[in-house]
């Protein structure tokens, strides 16, 4: 049985108020909200998630979504949970002010995204897709569409979907064949089939708004011929009331490895009524707003599922007695076995790195709204966060099974569900290779590594800050207990500085090697995933370096400080060296 979910409130308090050297929430909101306010929001969300969403996770996995007489029925309790979610104000709170929401800053939304997914990933996908559609319609919809559809999405009364994939058009969206034919009244008749539509049909809200990529008669072939359309499940009358059912049929539900409570639908559009969003031929650009939002959300989802698996592994290891533990007298739990302890520390250090990077990237986008010069770096991190965090989540949920031993392979323990749920994350919203191709093509080679160099410069500044911490600790080594505490911090800071400096140097070399493949694209693309993972591991080490600097600023050691130093030291010794190995791989290019 799954353990009770514990939201990581203390970590978010540290990330919002200390880890980045200032109150990032106050900076993003001009002082309207502070780190303390944000921590209260996270605590409230955690209580809601633990009491309302988490209890439905296992039952939702067992029962799953069902197709009954052409309509999808979700597991028991999902509809009530969704109403409670809306009534508590969480949908409106996260929606941007420009769309009519409360506009919580991205750093807070990062924490909320983790919490919703940790407590119930299948449920959370509904809001993730709706949030993405809100951003897309906010960016491109006409006033009429905003009034009719956007307002209902922001209120939570209706939910949203993203309709891209077709049987013969997966990664290659230019192969889409769904057709939208104009009608005299300004609407379009949409005909075609879409597959893999997350939350494409359900019974938790009164209407579903589909955002559909389709081509129009006479449009050019390929991606340039695609336009974007809103097609509601239920048509909306001129007075805003709901009318007849639109000609959108749920043909089937996919039978999946995981996220069983999330309905993944095959939808057939049979001259369904739709409305153009933005300009003809601008469909891919409009849809990319939603895709970008979803990709960032995947980073938060990965962190949430990984942390839930970690919590379960820790609880099991603390209780399970098995075998004699080296260096311990008498009976001891398996958490004391050196290798189990290694696995748990490995998971904890990775989860913190993912959590911190999610806050950092979300805050970058917040700051980029007033300082566009930050936008290239923010966008640079999107494929890294999505690719590295989701690949990590698969590995971490697998490690959670390993901690359980044979019991982890048994469904009744519940830990296998996290692995099954996580496995889709490196695939949907663009596979890891799609992310890495975007990273190297648009964001590294195109500008000759300028944005990557900006990242490396920030990492190297943290190296300098860590050396200052180590130097100050050496200078105060004779100051009694206080000096001993500072000395321990300084020792960790010194090791972190050395390791991070070497990793940054390897990352610079790998970037130069990658740019050197500009004239041999196959070489560059063959090692694009290792390069993405290299930058993710480096960014994780950077996050831990920032944490060490923040801990060193404490006048009195906080209860969590020793733990943060242990995790930073572990990450530097066990994870950061992978940068050097990955750099060797990048340098090799494509091998025969």
**CA distance to 86, 261, 308, 396, per residue, from 302 (Å):** 23, 17, 10, 10
What does residue 187 show for φ and ψ, rounded to 5 degrees? -85, 180
Query: Which residues 6+ apart lie within 8 Å of 30 measured at CB?
Result: none
Tokens of 444: 């590294």
Tokens of 434: 């799609």
Which among 18, 94, 114, 429 is annotated as catalytic?
429
Round to whole Å and give the CA distance between 413 and 422.
Answer: 17
Round to whole Å and give the CA distance between 123 and 85.
Answer: 11
Strand duo 248-253 + 264-277: pairing: antiparallel
User: Is residue 190 within 8 Å of residue 178, measured between CB atoms?
Assistant: yes
Strand duo 179-182 + 71-73: pairing: unpaired
Of 522, 534, 527, 545, nearest in space to 579 by CA: 534
User: Is residue 5 within 8 Å of residue 308, measured between CB atoms?
Assistant: yes
Tokens of 348: 């904890």
Round to whole Å and give the CA distance between 182 and 184.
Answer: 7
Known catalytic residue at 429? yes
> For residues 126-159, b (16+ Cβ closer than 10 Å) or e, as one string?
bbbbbbbbbbbbbbbbeeebbebbbbbbbebebb
Residue 262, CB-side half-sphere exposure with 13 Å CA sphere: 24
Helix (H) or strand (E) holding 241: none
What does residue 182 show for φ and ψ, rounded to 5 degrees? -70, 145
**CA distance to 373, 450, 452, 457, per residue, from 376 (Å):** 7, 10, 10, 15
User: Is residue 360 within 8 Å of residue 543, measured between CB atoms?
Assistant: yes
What does residue 181 show for φ and ψ, rounded to 5 degrees? -100, 130
Tokens of 152: 């209902």
Round to whole Å and give the CA distance between 351 and 393.
Answer: 9
User: Is residue 38 within 8 Å of residue 46, measured between CB atoms?
Assistant: no
Round to whole Å and give the CA distance between 148 and 291.
Answer: 22
**CA distance to 115, 347, 471, 485, 558, per residue, from 19 (Å):** 20, 20, 20, 19, 14
Round to whole Å and give the CA distance between 104 and 99.
Answer: 12
Round to whole Å and give the CA distance between 148 and 231.
Answer: 12
List, by residue number, the catalytic residues.
429
């Amino acid at each position: 049985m799954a353990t009770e979910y514990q939201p990581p409130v203390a970590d978010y308090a540290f990330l919002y108020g200390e880890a980045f050297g200032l109150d990032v929430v106050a900076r993003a909101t001009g002082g309207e909200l502070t780190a303390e306010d944000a921590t209260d929001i996270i605590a409230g969300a955690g209580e809601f998630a633990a009491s309302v969403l988490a209890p439905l996770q296992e039952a939702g996995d067992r029962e799953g979504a069902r197709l009954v007489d052409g309509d999808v029925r979700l597991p028991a309790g999902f509809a009530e949970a969704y109403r409670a979610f809306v009534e508590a104000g969480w949908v409106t709170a996260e929606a941007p002010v420009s769309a009519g929401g409360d506009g919580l800053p991205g750093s807070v939304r990062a924490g909320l995204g983790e919490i919703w997914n940790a407590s119930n990933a299948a449920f959370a996908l509904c809001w993730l897709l709706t949030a993405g559609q809100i951003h897309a319609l906010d960016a491109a919809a006409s006033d009429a569409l905003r009034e009719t559809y956007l307002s209902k999405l922001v209120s939570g009364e209706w939910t949203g979907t993203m309709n891209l994939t077709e049987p013969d058009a997966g990664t290659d969206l230019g192969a889409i064949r769904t057709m939208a034919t104009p009608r005299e009244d300004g609407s379009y008749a949409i005909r075609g089939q879409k597959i893999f539509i997350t939350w494409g049909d359900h019974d938790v809200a009164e209407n579903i708004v589909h955002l559909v990529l389709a081509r129009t008669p006479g449009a050019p072939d390929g991606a340039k011929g695609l336009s974007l359309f809103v097609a509601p499940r239920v048509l909306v009358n001129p007075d805003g009331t709901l009318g007849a059912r639109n000609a959108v049929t749920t043909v089937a539900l996919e039978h999946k490895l995981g996220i069983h409570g999330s309905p993944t639908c095959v939808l057939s559009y049979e001259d369904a009524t739709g409305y153009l969003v933005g300009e003809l031929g601008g469909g891919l650009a409009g849809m990319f707003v939603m895709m970008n939002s979803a990709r960032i959300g995947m980073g938060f989802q990965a962190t949430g599922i990984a942390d839930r698996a970690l919590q379960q592994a820790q609880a099991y290891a603390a209780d399970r007695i098995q075998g004699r533990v080296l260096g311990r007298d008498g009976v001891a739990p398996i958490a004391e076995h050196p290798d189990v302890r290694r696995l748990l520390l490995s998971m904890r250090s990775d989860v913190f790195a993912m959590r911190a990077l999610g806050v950092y990237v979300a805050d970058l986008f917040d700051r980029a709204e007033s300082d566009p010069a930050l936008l290239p770096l923010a966008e640079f991190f999107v494929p890294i966060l999505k690719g590295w965090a989701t690949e990590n989540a698969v590995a971490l949920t697998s490690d959670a099974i390993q901690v359980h031993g044979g019991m982890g392979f048994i469904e009744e323990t519940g830990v296998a569900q996290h692995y099954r749920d996580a496995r889709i994350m490196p695939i949907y919203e663009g596979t890891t290779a799609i992310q890495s191709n975007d990273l190297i093509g648009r964001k590294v080679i195109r500008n000759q590594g300028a944005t990557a160099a900006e990242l490396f410069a920030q990492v190297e500044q943290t190296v300098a800050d860590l050396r200052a911490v180590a130097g100050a600790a050496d200078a105060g080594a004779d100051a009694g207990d206080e000096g001993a505490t500072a000395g321990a911090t300084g020792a960790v800071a010194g090791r972190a500085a050395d390791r991070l400096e070497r990793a940054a140097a390897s990352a610079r070399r790998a970037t130069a090697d990658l740019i050197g493949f500009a004239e041999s694209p196959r070489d560059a693309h063959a090692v694009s995933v290792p390069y993405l993972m290299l930058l993710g591991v480096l960014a994780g080490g950077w996050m831990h370096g920032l944490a060490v600097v923040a801990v060193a600023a404490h006048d009195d050691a906080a209860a969590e400080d020793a733990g943060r130093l242990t995790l930073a030291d572990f990450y530097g010794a066990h994870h950061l060296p992978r940068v050097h190995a990955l750099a060797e791989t990048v340098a090799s290019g494509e091998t025969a």
